[in-house]
């Protein structure tokens, strides 16, 4: 099996993470930058945007998310939510994935016949970017998972990190060293999911 497919198999949702990653923060930055540069996008629009948070900035993000959720989750059932936020905060960093709506709107104006498709294609491209970053991290021995606390936290995130209004938050990826391996992954029969016609 190819190196690429082995890396794809290695990628899992890892929730047991800590701050002691096996690679440098500069290596994480390099992975993200390479992924952003080389993940395909419709019309080569390059509409994906990424913020990488380390250290205190990463901790601040999960504290902010926890306090936002505290306002909407009943107090008597908040403990599991608080525990989950603590688990994400225990990682080394977080990758925030955005799509620049200004780029998408520009394409809609320029290519009106495809206007309805550009938001769909944009989301598909961002999904590919998330997968590339996630798989590349796994290939370096770094565990990660994909979270979606948007749009609840969008306004606070944009304000806290002074981000452009046109950046729409799509996903959050906390990462760190793997301290708890994920369980066995069950698979539905492949025959029911793939059809081949010769």
163-187 burial code (b ≥16 CB/10 A, e <16): beebbbbbbbbbbbbbeeeeeeeee
Q: What is the DSSP string of 84-124?
A: HHHHHHTSSEEEEEEEEHHHHHHHHHH-GGGTTHHHHHHHH
CA distance 14 to 122: 26
Percent of the chain at pLDDT > 70 equals 99
Q: Is the pTM of this model over 0.85?
A: yes
Average pLDDT on 88-109 reads: 98
Token pair recorded at residue 112: 């009106």
Percent of the chain at pLDDT > 90 equals 99
Mean pLDDT of the chain: 97
Q: What is the pLDDT of residue 108?
A: 97
Average pLDDT on 114-122 reads: 97
Q: What is the pLDDT of residue 17?
A: 98
pLDDT tens figures, 129-151: 999 999 999 999 999 999 999 99
């Amino acid at each position: 099996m190819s190196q690429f497919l082995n890396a794809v198999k290695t990628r899992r949702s890892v929730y047991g993470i800590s701050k002691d990653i096996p690679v440098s923060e500069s290596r994480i930055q390099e992975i993200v930058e390479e992924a952003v540069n080389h993940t395909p996008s419709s019309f080569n629009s390059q509409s994906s945007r990424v913020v990488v948070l380390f250290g205190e900035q990463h901790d601040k993000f999960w504290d902010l998310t926890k306090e936002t959720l505290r306002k909407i989750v009943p107090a008597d059932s908040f403990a599991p939510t608080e525990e989950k936020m603590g688990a994400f905060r225990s990682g080394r960093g977080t990758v925030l994935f955005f799509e620049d709506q200004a780029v998408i709107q520009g394409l809609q104006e320029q290519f009106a016949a495809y206007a309805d498709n550009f938001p769909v294609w944009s989301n598909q491209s961002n999904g590919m970017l998330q997968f590339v970053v996630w798989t590349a991290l796994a290939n370096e021995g770094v565990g990660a998972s994909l979270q979606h606390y948007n749009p609840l936290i969008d306004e606070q995130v944009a304000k806290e990190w002074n981000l452009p209004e046109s950046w729409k938050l799509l996903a959050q990826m906390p990462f760190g060293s793997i301290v708890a391996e994920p369980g066995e992954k069950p698979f539905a029969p492949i025959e029911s999911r793939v059809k081949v016609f010769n």
